[in-house]
A and B are shown apart, each in its own frame.
Chain A
Amino acid sequence: MEEALFFLSALGALGGAVGVIAMRNPFYSVLALIVHLFSLASLFLLLTSAFVAAAQVVVYAGAVMVLYVFVVAYVGGGGESAWEPIPGQRFLAPLLGIALFVELSVAVLSSSLLALGTDRPDVKAGFGDPAAIGTLLLEKFLLPFEASSLLLLLAAVGAIVLAGRRREAA
């Protein structure tokens, strides 16, 4: 049952990722990314991290993707030119990507992390629920928490400055 759920979610995540890079129209790329994010949320649930999965669905698939859809609708999906500044780029890039995957896998799997090959260890009942994450965020990681809230504020102000309609000064 668990294996079936893992492979189903992995297939969804991978299919969504390939859809993002293969679709010609950016609007379909955004829709493929939503499939990817939902599959990833179910993978997070398999790793007993309920809060991260919920945040993934609410923040990413909910809020951020709505932003993307609005901007794609505003800008419009133009077709990309077939001109290649580097000859053979479309052919070389997947090869380099596969090389990166093999390299990452070898680096992780041949590391001395002995617990990698074991099944997920048993954890206590409330592992990864909102209460546990909230306690950690507000006690041990208070400074990163406040820093990220400041970062969000800065990003919001920056986006308004960048995209806002400015008066023509000169």
Chain B
Amino acid sequence: MTIEWFVVLSALLFATGAIGILIRRSPLVILLCLELMLNAGNLALVAFSRMVGNEEGQVFAVIVMVVAACEVVVGLGLIVAIFRRRLPLNVDDLRELRG
């Protein structure tokens, strides 16, 4: 398998995540689609690291994983806070930045 296959697969997964963000309304599913896009980026990073032959890209991928975990924690905290205030869990209804 050449590196091209991995990179094209990563582009395909990134586009899938982007489509999900465009068509879904629930903030939970939008967070999941963000995960898809971050993981597609990780796949490209690891593939390029394998192509070049050193592990620095993999360290980058691990750091991206850490950042993704932080993003998930804060995002889920926001969703729980929205739910507690009895606001609709729909990104089209949550357009106003008003408390």
Taking beta carbons and an 8 Å cutoff, which residues of A are in contact with B?
Answer: 2-3, 6, 10, 13-14, 17-18, 20-21, 26, 29-30, 33, 36-37, 40, 43-44, 46-49, 51-52, 55-56, 59-60, 63-64, 67-68, 71-72, 74-75, 78, 80-81, 83, 85, 89-90, 92-94, 96-98, 100-101, 104-105, 108-109, 113, 115-121, 123, 127-128, 132-133, 136-137, 140-141, 144-145, 148, 151-152, 154-156, 158-163
Number of A-B contacts (CB under 8 A): 236
- Known contacts A75-B89, A97-B16; A105/B1 CB under 8 A: no
A interface, over-half SS: helix
- A14–B13 CB distance below 8 A: yes
A89 to B80, CA, bound (A): 27
For A101, what are the chain B residues with a Cβ–Cβ distance below 8 Å? 11-12, 14-15
For B92, what are the chain A residues with a Cβ–Cβ distance below 8 Å? 83, 85
If A109-B4, A118-B2 are given as contacts, then 6 extra A-B residue pairs at C-beta distance below 8 Å, sorted by A number, are A17-B36, A21-B33, A60-B68, A81-B25, A120-B51, A156-B73
Quote the shortest CB–CB distance from B99 to chain A (angstroms): 12
For B89, what are the chain A residues with a Cβ–Cβ distance below 8 Å? 75, 78
Look across to chain B and name the residue whose beta carbon is closest to the beta carbon of A83. Answer: B92
Quote the shortest CB–CB distance from B32 to chain A (angstroms): 5
Residues of B within 8 A of A (CB-CB), count: 68
- A47–B50 CB distance below 8 A: yes
Instruction: List which B72-99 residues lie within 8 A (CB) of chain A.
Output: 72-74, 76-81, 83-84, 89-90, 92
A160 to B66, CA, bound (A): 18
A10 to B8, CA, bound (A): 11
- Known contacts A29-B32, A89-B22, A89-B23; A47/B6 CB under 8 A: yes
- B29–A29 CB distance below 8 A: yes
Instruction: List which B10-44 residues lie within 8 A (CB) of chain A.
Output: 11-20, 22-26, 28-29, 32-33, 35-36, 39, 42-43
Quote the shortest CB–CB distance from B33 to chain A (angstroms): 6
Quote the shortest CB–CB distance from A164 to chain B (angstroms): 9
- Known contacts A20-B29, A75-B89, A155-B70; A119/B1 CB under 8 A: yes
- B69–A14 CB distance below 8 A: no
Look across to chain A and name the residue whose beta carbon is closest to the beta carbon of B48. Answer: A113
For B50, what are the chain A residues with a Cβ–Cβ distance below 8 Å? 47-49, 120, 123
